[in-house]
Structure 1
Amino acid sequence: MYNMIIVVETIFNIIIGLYFFYMLKNQQVDRISINKENEKGLKKLDEMRKVKLSVPLCEESRPQKFEEIIGQQNGIRTLKASICGSNPQHVIIYGPPGVGKTAAARLALEYAKTCSYSPFKDDAKFVEIDATTLRFDERGIADPLIGSVHDPIYQGAGKYGMAGIPQPKMGAVSRAHGGILFIDEIGELNPNEMNKLLKVMEDRKVFFDSAYYNSSNETMPEYIKDIFENGFPADFRLIGATTRNPEEINPALRSRCIEIFFRQLDEVEIKTIAKNASDKIKVNMDSRALDLIGMYASNGREAINLIQLACGIVMNENRNKIEYKDILWLVENGRYSMRTYKKVSDIARIGCVNGLGVFGIDNGIVMDIEAAAIRVKNSTGEIKLTGIIEEEEMNGYNKKVRKKSSIMSSAENAVSMIQNVFKINTRNYDIHIDFQGGYAVDGPSAGVSIACAILSALKNEPIKSEVAMTGEITLNGKVKPVGGIGSKIKAAVKAGAKLVIIPYENWDSSFNNNYANVKIVGVKTIGEILKYVLISSSENNIRIKINKENCKGILTAESATGEKCNF
């Protein structure tokens, strides 16, 4: 019996020994396999890193200092005041693509590091993410922006997973701690992520939660306890960039940020960017080719792309100079659109007015507004508007609202004002108002332009061609203030206008100082406008006069019916 026990014990020991032997052998084989795979992977990485292409021109042309960002001096000054002071603020930069928003954000941090009064340290990080590619898991497993917690069930056989310890992972907000978090296209950020970001901006730290966290667990590392109890540090300054309009951005985010506007680049500025890019790659360029780039490129990125493509054409044809024909071929095959600048006409016409508006972000435009009035019988006249947005749709607060466009409402206001103030029965006319140019603009600021165009058509009196105007019109003929005045005045000046009419409440004495060759006047009523715009008003051919005795400063008009009215 004793011998039997010894034999069984010996067999059992042999089995255990063989088991551990094979386990050790498998570990060695696995380790050897891992080492071989590791060496193979490192070798592949080294081979890949040795292969390098030339640096793209867009990267080589990236501004290295603020002076190299063309056309955005006002925006950069505001950005430096917001970020580079002793108390940096969160910032949203609005502007079209390719005008320097990202480059300015990068340079702002570098400039702030050189300021002794700035809280940004020399090792402050610039963390850049794109909201259009940002993805997150609603269960909190992965969130590259805010951070996440890897619960044991998702960790597998890791050391924390086996111990049942949740593992926090920092996100971009924590990686940007002490520096700048730059979110490109922030207007595309998911609403859930936006709400989380707002909370982090307020608390300046990120708090995590997990069903597996137990503060009394003695095996839990102290730093994990600290993270769950006190949060991950996330004291950063946000710079968001977007091509959207301000009203499309989350109001809660806007209230926490300084809003900065980068404008559309003009032709001269595009040419400067193109010339700088060609100089960096040491390629000569025909002046006519440079002019063509300025005419077709809408932003700096497009200008650099044209230079890069033209450089490829020149090198393939063994030439050393970019010629006019190269750029012409590129813009034709790339289907680029030529920028068009409205110029005021030299000929005064009946029913034709130069209206001022804003297109996109801070882009002033001069629009041709034309009106025609045809007399009809039996008061069956109708009003027709073409070239405008007839209806607009607004989303917000979990509801969708549709309303008649503001520009259509302005036209109806203008017609009612003519009936009310001038006592002209517009039902006796078919009135057609056309907005030329195809701009998708809306707003009440075309009211005075529409009113003047209709009055000119009804009275058969021409409007001075060198006049541009903007303002909202009321039913009593009053002119109310509007937005975007600075951009509108610049557009009028560029179009060659000699007189710009704006609402009195928008007028400032500095306007005439800034534009010496243009007269800018503020008006309160439609009557004041008619004094400036109707060619025959100075000769009293349309029977408009000022009743100085009864109502000083108030203009009176005699309608087609012979009745007098005050306004």
Structure 2
Amino acid sequence: MLLGPQGQPVSPQGPQVPEELAVLPSPEVVLFPYMLLPIPVTDQRLVRMIDDVVAGERKILGLFALREPDKGPTPENLYKVGTAAGIAKMLRMPDGGVQVLLQGIARIALEDITSLEPYIKARVRPLQDEVEKTLELEALVRNAVSLFQRAVSLAPNLPDELGIVVVNIPEPGQQADFIASHIRLSTAERQEILETLDVAERLRKVLSYLNREVEILELSSKIQSQVKGELDKAQREFFLRKQLEQIKKELGEEDEHTAEINQLRQQIEEAGLPEEAKKEALRELDRMAKMPPQAAEYTVARTYLDWLISLPWNRSTEDNLDVERAAEILDEDHYGLEKPKERILEYLAVRKMKEDMKGPILCFVGPPGTGKTSLGRSIARALGRKFVRVSLGGVRDEAEIRGHRRTYVGALPGRIIQGIRRAGSNNPVFMLDEIDKLGADFRGDPAAALLEVLDPEQNNAFVDHYLDVPFDLSKVMFITTANVLYTIPPALLDRMEVLELPGYTEPEKVEIAKRFLIPRQLEEHGLSDGQLRIEEDALRKVIRNYTREAGVRNLEREIAAICRKAARRIVQGEAESVVVGEDDLHDFLGPVRYRHEVAEEEDEVGVATGLAWTPTGGEVLFVEAAVVPGKGNLILTGQMGDVMQESAKAALTYIRSRAESLGIEQDFYRKWDMHVHVPSGAVPKDGPSAGITMTVALTSALTKRPARKDVAMTGEVTLRGKVLPIGGVRDKVLAAHRAGVKTVVLPEENEKDLEDVPEHVRQELKFAFVKHMDQVLDLALRR
């Protein structure tokens, strides 16, 4: 690399590359443009070539690497891309050979061979870098420079000045070449970088090799320091033990109390406690030394010290930062759940680039049985960390989180510190299960205590009431789970990154059953694959007609029931193997429990098909409306909540305002009572999303126009007839698909939410996006 007067790199100002060059074959060396490279030449034909080039006017030759060094410098064995190099210096050796110092000028492509004797000559073409100045290119350059500086600081053979030189190189392509020429690469890898003309792609390849080099250097450095540390520790322990032996000989045997105090003192020294915790532990130990072992306070102090000593203050497990391996483990344990998996892999990638990053605070929200808890265990396995699970369901005491003060009899640390102790490391995956089911009473609010635990800015100094010294929780990866979000206090919810785990679709349930549930139940019931086979059609019928859930827990129970009956048949000698088809399910599971198909039923006046969201997934909801003689009363039944009742009133007002255009008498509300009922009357219902469904049902009843059963709808309605967006679109659409609905009516602003709906469901359904109630009536009512 040429340097200017201020130490900045400059391009060599030499002649242009001639069209024909003498070729210098290189068995194991690749030269990059603007780099200097000494090469010894002993072959007399090549020595003659060097002499001819030096005697010429331009002193330029072409350096091309050999594909297979053992086969010799034949034209077929030369790579097609090489480097035009100027001879900066030549030194003759006593054995007749020469040592030449080459300086790269430009990348060249070998067009064809023009001469083979007395040495190879070829016609060449200069190659230009392809550079597009973008933010991505800038990011690649910065990453490459930063990693190279890290490699320079770790490698004993690289001078520190290289880290300064690389920053001052003006062109990204030259920076990539400079870095590639100073790290350990094979000839094939160097040639690959030389042949890459796209500078951004070249930087990506350099980054890949640079990452590998830095990992190797860091591992070497770690091994070196570990060996040195172990030697120093062993020597120190040897001398201390010898001194201890001599002291014991001089003083005689110690009593039990003194031995216990000394043992505790040694454990405190070895526990690696922070300064504040160590000071508190030694203060408590001094108190213990002054009191008799029979004292009640002695046991309390001893228990406290045991807790302090046993905590993993500086013990961490080493993270598995192999993103591909982590992805394999996550896919091996769970099917689907792409968003949570993607978030974990992103954390791993960032953790690989920034070692001291704080652990994320994630909240998995979804219906029961969708794999939230088991996903946490899988994440711990993928990261190579310990896993701790604490259930918060029904916890009502703040001390369960923060612990009890030591003044109370039987005081203990809270569940957080207990979990850390069980894990044995200060960076486990810590799952707080069912965080939406926390309670509160006169003993305090545990949700408020969790505010400090789940705040990355505060939890590096979490103080448990029992320990009364700060403990660093910033390395812990906290994962919370919940079925719903509205019961979680806003301040607590704000501290967590929410990841939704929606209900599974039918094809996903089939895959989960085949990959996980059936093999697990076969193993638990002592059956082999050949003894019981459940056909896919039967599996689909179990999902449709014997379970109604967003998760797969009931599905696994039904599979277990099939396994039990199959095992009994085999044991009683009725059959050697059992195949369960769709028609056999009645014998194994009894009559069908649920019926989803609604598209076959006839259209009816006053009955509209709506879509609802529940914690267990989406449901199809029928809204019935009837008109009877009366005085204009609106009767609402079916355990409707306040918001749902207001939606019904808004629907009626809209119909009154549009009575003429709908063909309804203007004073209908004086002569008739309108009754709106939502079946499943024992189940409470609420929310504004049934607004358009109730409007359609009422309009159908008043106009005597049948409502189409194959059209399901959801959306909030205003007095002016506008249709407003709602939530839970994915689950509602899946429910419509499951029920055999052909058309789904959604608010226009919810069109973006269809991205979360599986592709096969979108293709099988027709969607109508509406802005006004008039559009809904045109779609939902028969003429």
Q: Which residue of 2 aligns with 1:533?
A: 780
Q: Which residue of 2 aligns with 1:42?
A: none
Q: Which residue of 2 aligns with 1:220?
A: none
CA offset digits 1:481-521 (Å, max 9, x no partner): 22223332333344333332222232349679952454323
Determine which of 238, 242, 258 is the counterpart of 2:478.
238
How many Å separate the matches in 2 of 1:503 and 1:306?
A: 38
How many Å separate the matches in 2 of 1:359 and 1:285?
A: 34
1:76 CA displacement: 3.5
1:105 CA displacement: 1.0
Q: Which residue of 1 aligns with 2:497?
A: 258
Determine which of 676, 680, 689 is the counterpart of 1:433.
676
Q: Which residue of 2 aligns with 1:95?
A: 366
Determine which of 356, 364, 379 is the counterpart of 2:618.
364
Q: Which residue of 1 aligns with 2:341?
A: 76
CA offset digits 1:113-160 (Å, max 9, x no partner): 3xxxxxxxx5x432211223768685xxxx5x44555459869xxxxx
Q: Which residue of 2 aligns with 1:182?
A: 431
1:390 partner amino acid? M
Return closer, same or farther for 1:238/1:286 CA change in 2, 3 Å cut-off: closer
1:265 partner amino acid? Y
How many Å separate the matches in 2 of 1:79 and 1:343?
A: 40
Return closer, same or farther for 1:209/1:476 CA change in 2, 3 Å cut-off: closer
**Following superposition of structure 1 onto structure 2, how do residues 113-192 of structure 1 map, counting pairs within 5 Å?**
113=383, 122=384, 124-132=385-393, 138=399, 143=400, 145-147=401-403, 150=406, 170-172=417-419, 177-191=426-440, 192=445
CA offset digits 1:94-121 (Å, max 9, x no partner): 223322111211222333x3xxxxxxxx
Q: Which residue of 1 aligns with 2:446?
A: 193
Determine which of 518, 531, 546 is the counterpart of 1:296.
546
Determine which of 458, 461, 464 is the counterpart of 2:705.
461
CA RMSD, 1 decimal:
3.8
**Following superposition of structure 1 onto structure 2, how do residues 20-35 of structure 1 map, counting pairs within 5 Å?**
none
Q: Which residue of 2 aligns with 1:407?
A: 644
Q: Which residue of 1 aligns with 2:381?
A: 110
Return closer, same or farther for 1:126/1:406 CA change in 2, 3 Å cut-off: same
CA offset digits 1:63-89 (Å, max 9, x no partner): 964344234334433454467743542
1:262 CA displacement: 1.9
Return closer, same or farther for 1:267/1:502 CA change in 2, 3 Å cut-off: closer
**CA contact 1:381–1:428 (8 Å) conserved in 2:** yes
CA offset digits 1:152-183 (Å, max 9, x no partner): 9869xxxxxxxxxx9xx943357563222111
Return closer, same or farther for 1:470/1:134 CA change in 2, 3 Å cut-off: closer
How many Å separate the matches in 2 of 1:146 and 1:152?
A: 14
**Does 2:451 correspond to 1:207?**
no
Return closer, same or farther for 1:488/1:78 CA change in 2, 3 Å cut-off: farther
3-state SS in 2 of match to 1:264: coil
Q: Which residue of 1 aligns with 2:85?
A: none
**CA contact 2:730–2:754 (8 Å) conserved in 1:** no
Deviation larger for 411-420 or 289-298: 289-298
How many Å separate the matches in 1 of 2:602 and 2:446?
A: 56
How many Å separate the matches in 2 of 1:337 and 1:200?
A: 48
How many Å separate the matches in 2 of 1:416 and 1:383?
A: 11
Q: Which residue of 1 aligns with 2:715?
A: 471
How many Å separate the matches in 1 of 2:408 and 2:346?
A: 47
**Following superposition of structure 1 onto structure 2, how do residues 470-489 of structure 1 map, counting pairs within 5 Å?**
470-489=714-733
1:207 CA displacement: 2.0
CA offset digits 1:8-49 (Å, max 9, x no partner): xxxxxxxxxxxxxxx99xxxxxxxxxxxxxxxxxxxxxxxxx
How many Å separate the matches in 2 of 1:251 and 1:94?
A: 15
**Does 2:596 correspond to 1:341?**
yes
1:381 partner amino acid? G
Identify unmatched segments of 5+ residues in structure 2.
Answer: 1-254, 257-327, 352-356, 661-665
In the superposition, the TM-score normalised over structure 2's length comes to 0.47
2:605 partner amino acid? I
1:384 partner amino acid? I
Return closer, same or farther for 1:65/1:421 CA change in 2, 3 Å cut-off: same
Return closer, same or farther for 1:241/1:410 CA change in 2, 3 Å cut-off: same
**CA contact 2:403–2:465 (8 Å) conserved in 1:** no
1:458 CA displacement: 1.3
1:275 CA displacement: 3.4
3-state SS in 2 of match to 1:487: helix
2:686 partner amino acid? D
Deviation larger for 249-258 or 71-80: 71-80
**CA contact 2:376–2:431 (8 Å) conserved in 1:** yes
**CA contact 1:352–1:370 (8 Å) conserved in 2:** yes
Q: Which residue of 1 aligns with 2:533?
A: 285
Return closer, same or farther for 1:337/1:251 CA change in 2, 3 Å cut-off: farther
How many Å separate the matches in 2 of 1:529 and 1:467?
A: 10
1:348 CA displacement: 3.0
How many Å separate the matches in 2 of 1:513 and 1:150?
A: 55
How many Å separate the matches in 2 of 1:358 and 1:523?
A: 20
**CA contact 1:472–1:481 (8 Å) conserved in 2:** yes
Return closer, same or farther for 1:75/1:320 CA change in 2, 3 Å cut-off: farther
Q: Which residue of 1 aligns with 2:31?
A: none
1:259 CA displacement: 1.2
1:531 CA displacement: 2.8
1:459 partner amino acid? T
3-state SS in 2 of match to 1:348: coil
Determine which of 466, 474, 487 is the counterpart of 1:248.
487
2:781 partner amino acid? L
**CA contact 2:363–2:479 (8 Å) conserved in 1:** yes
Return closer, same or farther for 1:470/1:97 CA change in 2, 3 Å cut-off: closer
Return closer, same or farther for 1:408/1:84 CA change in 2, 3 Å cut-off: farther
Return closer, same or farther for 1:83/1:135 CA change in 2, 3 Å cut-off: farther
Q: Which residue of 2 aligns with 1:37?
A: none
3-state SS in 2 of match to 1:390: coil
**CA contact 1:79–1:260 (8 Å) conserved in 2:** no
More contact order relative to length (CA 8 Å, sep ≥ 6): 1
3-state SS in 2 of match to 1:450: helix
Q: Count residues in correspondence.
A: 410
Identify unmatched segments of 5+ residues in structure 1.
Answer: 1-22, 25-62, 114-121, 156-165, 211-226, 392-404, 537-567
Q: Which residue of 1 aligns with 2:744?
A: 500
**Following superposition of structure 1 onto structure 2, how do residues 381-420 of structure 1 map, counting pairs within 5 Å?**
381-387=632-638, 389-391=639-641, 405-420=642-657
Deviation larger for 427-436 or 291-300: 291-300
